[in-house]
Amino acid sequence: MDAQVLPLERTATLPQTIALVDDDRNILTSIAMALEAEGFTVRTYVDGAEALRGLSSQPVDLAVLDIKMPRMDGMELLAKLRKQSQLPVIFLTSKDDEVDEVLGLRMGADDYITKPFSQRLLIERIRALLRRQELMRDKAAGVVAEAPITRGDLLLDPSRHTCSWKGQDVALTVTEFLLLKALAYRPGLVKSRDQIMDAAYGEHVYVDDRTIDSHIKRLRKKFRVIDDEFAHIETLYGLGYRYREK
């Protein structure tokens, strides 16, 4: 199936709508009920192909995707979505899908949750992503003015949620942008994983170290598409990460 052009994400002034994509109807029903009880509007899809058609005509604020589905799995759906949109995406994975989790994050998912999972945890992760998305929209609309950050060849504009390296645009998810901003704001300063988590996810959402590491690897990969010598995000084993300006 050819990739379809997706409409722009919904604006923050509209009711928040979540797309759930999973071939297990029991999971769809239980999560949908929990989200609706929290005041969200929910659209459910049983496979990736159906979801792509639905999202092309009815935009949502965030999507929760199962990785393994018939017809079009979560990975393929994510790849098609990322060609057209930076829609926040959370993956649902099984305990045995470690490779898929890491690959999914590198492809552009914002987060993942391993099955079986707490519905409360999922709801908190969804709220955290939506809060960050709304903050970016407010800044882009000029509600909150924030000066661009220039670090050598790096230019980050928080108000527009844009990033460039050596004059070339780098497309970043909300999570990636906030992680990079946390590191680049004070170059040379070592940030622990906990500090990076707080900057990108907020203090009340737990994310394990592997998730942060996967985001960092994906950030490096995106910059190395432009500059294969990019080495400005450094790992200090046992300590965390830092941004090296020169």
- The Cα 121–Cα 105 span in angstroms is 18
Q: Residue type for 110, please?
A: D
Percent of the chain with pLDDT over 90: 34
Residues 35, 122: Cα–Cα separation, whole Å:
9
Mean pLDDT (whole number) for 65-87: 87
12-21, 52-61, 94-103: least confident range: 94-103
pLDDT of residue 98: 56
- Give yes or no for a contact between 43 and 19, defined as CB atoms under 8 angstroms apart: yes
Q: Residue 167 and residue 170: Cα distance in Å, rounded?
A: 9
Report d(CA 189, CA 127) in Å as an integer: 29
Residue where the block lists tokens 């050598």: 152
pLDDT of res. 6 = 42
| Residue 75 clears pLDDT 80, i.e. is over it | yes
CA 8 to CA 81: how far, in whole Å? 11
User: Is this model's pTM higher than 0.85 or not?
Assistant: no
Question: Would the CA dihedral through 135, 136, 140, 141 be positive or negative?
Answer: negative
Of the candidates 165, 158, 159, the residue with the CA atom closest to the CA atom of residue 182: 158
**What are the chain's domains?**
17-137 (3.40.50.2300), 146-243 (1.10.10.10)
Band of pLDDT at residue 5, cut at 50, 70 and 90: very low
- pLDDT the model gives residue 159: 73
The confidence score (pLDDT) of residue 11 equals 45
**pLDDT interval class at 211 (50, 70, 90):** confident
